[in-house]
Amino acid sequence: MWIRPIFFVALALLAIGAKLPSVRLYLSGSVLFKDRPTTEHVAGLLLFVKADGRVVAGTSVRDDGTYDISFIPERQPSFDFYFAGLGHDTTFIKSFTKFESDLMTWDIEL
Domain membership of residue 27 (yes or no) is yes
CA–CA separation, 39 and 71 (whole Å): 25
Determine the average pLDDT of the residues in 9-14. Answer: 60
Of 30 and 100, the structure prediction assigns the larger pLDDT to 30
Domain membership of residue 12 (yes or no) is no
Asked if residue 74 has pLDDT above 60, the reply is: yes
Domain total of the chain: 1
Domain of 38, CATH number, reads 2.60.130.10
| CA angle (33, 35, 39) in 5-degree steps | 40
Domain that holds residue 48: 21-109
Domain membership of residue 64 (yes or no) is yes
Domain membership of residue 4 (yes or no) is no
Determine the average pLDDT of the residues in 41-50. Answer: 88
Domain membership of residue 13 (yes or no) is no
Domain membership of residue 66 (yes or no) is yes
- Model's pTM, two decimal places? 0.75
Domain membership of residue 10 (yes or no) is no
Domain membership of residue 105 (yes or no) is yes
Distances (CA, A) of 8 to 1, 16, 19: 12, 12, 17
pLDDT band, residue 2 (cuts 50/70/90): low
